[in-house]
Amino acid sequence: MPSETSSENRLWEFDADERGAWNRRYSEQENLSFEPDPFLLEAYEHFVAPLFPKAGAALDIAGGLGRHAIWLAELRWKVSVVDISEVAFEKAEKKAEQRGVNIDFLVRDLNSWSPDRKKYDLVLVFYYLQRDLFSALESALKPGGILIYKTYTGEQLQYETGPKNPAHLLRQNELLHAFPNLRTLYYRETIKDRAVAELVAMKAK
């Protein structure tokens, strides 16, 4: 129960006051990492760079501290990042300023906000699962646009950290079939250190 769990696990178990919970987590967190997830680097090198020799418009969903938004902005992408936590964005904005990049920070609750249609060449989702957003993510892509998605699968329950609520955990092959109108370029589920699914998918031109 809450008193016996780490603050991370408490957060994953209860959805009430989502914004407050994430704000607290970002306020309390001491070792903030702005390192991009290695999967973004791999997916970018293999799929995005060859298809987009010129940087375009990108959207990072639930982008937190902006680690991916900043990385893309440094490659001259025009980046918008959405998150419910204004505390995360205060820190992200400081880091973006230090790095000399401009990013459009949108404090929004994804339960009541969805992106404009056909606006983005690249959409990213890392460590966030909201199933009723899947079709809006597809629609947000321009023709030829790319979706990069990575988050936890149910096997993460065997580890101490990460979500405990099934609403935040992918089922086997779920991400593979979540975007039926996109062409899958890459898909993998792994359980080394953490249990995740990784997807790269493209909208038809």
Query: Which three-class secondary structure string do you get for 60-119?
Result: EECCCCCHHHHHHHHCCCEEEEEECCHHHHHHHHHHHHHHCCCCEEEECCCCCCCCCCCC
Residue from 39, 44, 77, 126 in contact with ligand SAM (CB under 6 A)? 126
Residue 110 binding ligand SAM, by CB under 6 A:
yes
Q: Count Cα atoms within 13 angstroms, Cβ side, for 76.
A: 6
Nearer to ligand SAM, 4 or 132 (CB): 132
Cβ atoms of 138 and 199 within 8 Å: the answer is no
* Phi, psi of 183, deg, nearest 5: -90, 125
β-strand pairing of 78-83 with 120-126: unpaired
Tokens representing 170 are 């992918």
The piece of 39-47, 124-132, 136-144, 194-202 that touches ligand SAM (CB under 6 A) is 124-132
Bridge partners for 190 per DSSP: 196
Residue 137 binding ligand SAM, by CB under 6 A:
no
The piece of 47-55, 61-69, 168-176, 187-195 that touches ligand SAM (CB under 6 A) is 61-69
Residue 91 binding ligand SAM, by CB under 6 A:
no
Residue from 6, 7, 98, 111 in contact with ligand SAM (CB under 6 A)? 111
Residue 12 binding ligand SAM, by CB under 6 A:
no
Nearer to ligand SAM, 109 or 205 (CB): 109
Residue from 83, 121, 155, 198 in contact with ligand SAM (CB under 6 A)? 83
Residue 72 binding ligand SAM, by CB under 6 A:
no
* Phi, psi of 131, deg, nearest 5: -60, -35
The piece of 57-65, 72-80, 167-175, 190-198 that touches ligand SAM (CB under 6 A) is 57-65
Residue from 40, 58, 62, 178 in contact with ligand SAM (CB under 6 A)? 62
Rounded Cα–Cα distance for residues 12 and 128 (Å): 11
Residue 88 binding ligand SAM, by CB under 6 A:
yes
Residue 49 parent element (H or E): helix 49-51
Residue 84 binding ligand SAM, by CB under 6 A:
yes
Binding region for ligand SAM (CB under 6 A): 18, 22, 62-65, 67, 83-85, 88, 109-111, 126-128
